[in-house]
Structure 1
Amino acid sequence: MRTLYFDCFSGISGDMVIGALIDAGADPLQMEEELKKLNIDEEYTLSWGKVVKNGIRSTKFDVILTSGSEEPHEHEHSHEHSHENSQSNRHEHSHSHEHNHTHEHEHNHSHVLHNHHGSRTYKQIVEAINEANFNESVSNMSLAIFRKIGEAEGHIHGLPLEKVHFHEVGAVDSIIDIIGAAILINQLGIESVQSSAIPTGSGHIHIDHGIYPVPAPATLEILKGVPIAANDIRSELTTPTGAAISAVLAETFGSLPAMTVESIGYGAGTKTFENHPNVLRIIIGEIQ
């Protein structure tokens, strides 16, 4: 059985997942074309390239919003919070891109998700996924991950699922990260997913409601029932989107299973730690 293993020794975020999948041999151009089915490609460009994190050559993936600053924006904020201390903070670039690959997108203004102001609702995102006519596996994975995040946000804020709103910036990044990851996992012919325990990091983050402990409330809610690994790094290592991807897709959590390894990928996070490579490693292989 073709199996993907998330080795989350430095946590997990949506952009790290996509970077690792590209690094392991997935085709980002095919993903880019598939994502155009959502008709929101006028709102962003995608960028990916090789970087070195503490001696490990890895792939850095970014979503760059076209409706404002040219700098990459923060990933993972599927809720309406701004995690200033997040490991996926898009404004901290301590690495160098070797081959940055950016694509411009054509404009298309007719779709339920076309929204430059306000917020996108969970219901809008579900409708957009259903209308996009993705492969059934891609749709099912994407819907399950968004539902996991939406339910966690609703629980924290005391809202029913249909009333959960996703802040515009966070929604664009989350849509790309979640659906993009599903596209690449399907493309690679993955039949099962396993994961290590998930380190969340420690310390505090600043969000719209004040100063909160790490893991963020949404991340911790999403990781109910998932083994959390001890880690003394004072930073947010696992984001809500990364937590949801692992929580929904992984069938089991534990050490690397016995497998014949076929490919390995490293996806870079944005922050750089002094003695710790901030990357997500994925291992793909056959389990007999």
Structure 2
Amino acid sequence: MRTLYFDCFSGISGDMVIGALIDAGADPFQMEEELKKLNIAEEYTLSWEKVVKNGIASTKFDVILSRKPERLHEHIHSHEYHHEHSHSNDHSYDHEQSHILDHNEHSHSNSYSHEHHDHHDHRTYKQIVEIINEANFNASVKNMSLAIFKKIGEAEGHIHGLPLEKVHFHEVGAVDSIIDIIGAAILINQLGVQSVLSSAIPTGSGHIHIDHGIYPVPAPATLEILKGVPIAASDIRSELATPTGAAIAAVLAESFCPLPTMTVESIGYGAGTKTFKNHPNVLRIIIGEMQ
């Protein structure tokens, strides 16, 4: 059985998943064409490139929004974080770090960052479901995408005390997160994966700063998404697991276990935005045959 294993030794995020899948041999150009079925192609462009993280060659995937957001004051920043972006030396926020912001808030970022959001990018759960249903993806891609969005929507609704149909996404409704979730489903389907397994998920430690105050890591929505999933302790003072990354693993992984007995066929490393002094911030995926 063709199996994909998420080796999340440095956590997991949506852009790291796509970077790792591309690095393992998936075709990003085919994904780019498939994503045009969403009819939002004018809102973004995609980029991917090889970078080196603490000695490991990996693929960094980015969504570049067509509309440049206003450069408003920073809502999230912690001295614990070490940010890196391959295109700029400006301050940059790790993808999805602002997932628990109110939908009227903005993150401050450089013009290339994967974390861009403005008020035009907010979409309700219902709107996202409609976009996916109208896109004419194959059943596998459609069902994976809808299940991941539902997992996040239910978690956000629980945290904010709202029923699913009333959930108005800020972070997850932004274009880059829509691309990450559906793009991951497209690439996993493209690779002919029949089963998904994962390691335990390290969530990091420390705190994140938002307008509502100081929140612990893992953030509330991320922890809610990871109910029933084994999480791993980590001394790294940063947010390692984002809501989208957590939801991809929580929905797709049939079990959480050490690396299983398998014949390895391909390996991919997806680069995260942050850089740590003694720790390569990459997601490793291993694809192979299990008996």
Is the TM-score greater than 0.5? yes
CA contact (8 A) 2:99 2:171 kept: no
Displacement of 1:155 in angstroms is: 0.1
TM-score w.r.t. length of structure 1: 0.86
Displacement of 1:66 in angstroms is: 1.0
2:106 pairs with 1:81: no
Displacement of 1:207 in angstroms is: 2.6
Partner of 2:4: 4
SS in 2 for 1:117: helix
Gaps of 5+ in 1: 83-88, 94-114
Cα distance in 2 for residues equivalent to 1:161 and 1:46: 30
CA contact (8 A) 1:77 1:241 kept: no
SS in 2 for 1:173: helix
Cα distance in 2 for residues equivalent to 1:30 and 1:251: 27
Give the RMSD, CA atoms, in angstroms.
2.3
Deviations 1:164-213 (A, max 9, x none): 01127852111000000000000000000000000000000123422100
Partner of 2:197: 194
2:184 pairs with 1:164: no
2:260 pairs with 1:240: no
Partner of 2:67: 67
TM-score w.r.t. length of structure 2: 0.85
Partner of 2:281: 278
Cα distance in 2 for residues equivalent to 1:245 and 1:257: 20
Partner of 1:55: 55
Gaps of 5+ in 2: 70-86, 103-107, 113-117
2:39 partner amino acid: N
- Count of residue pairs brought into register by the alignment: 261
Partner of 2:145: 142
Cα distance in 2 for residues equivalent to 1:128 and 1:154: 20
**TM superposition outliers: structure 1 runs of 4+ over 6 Å:** 70-73
Cα distance in 2 for residues equivalent to 1:34 and 1:186: 12
1:229 partner amino acid: A
Deviations 1:65-109 (A, max 9, x none): 110069787533684528xxxxxx97599xxxxxxxxxxxxxxxx
2:178 pairs with 1:175: yes
CA contact (8 A) 1:79 1:165 kept: no
- Cα pair distance change 1:118/1:282, threshold 3 Å: closer
2:271 pairs with 1:251: no
Cα distance in 2 for residues equivalent to 1:132 and 1:120: 16
CA contact (8 A) 1:21 1:184 kept: yes
Matches within 5 A, 1:81-230: 81=101, 117=120, 119-167=122-170, 171-230=174-233
2:161 partner amino acid: G
Q: Percent identity?
A: 84
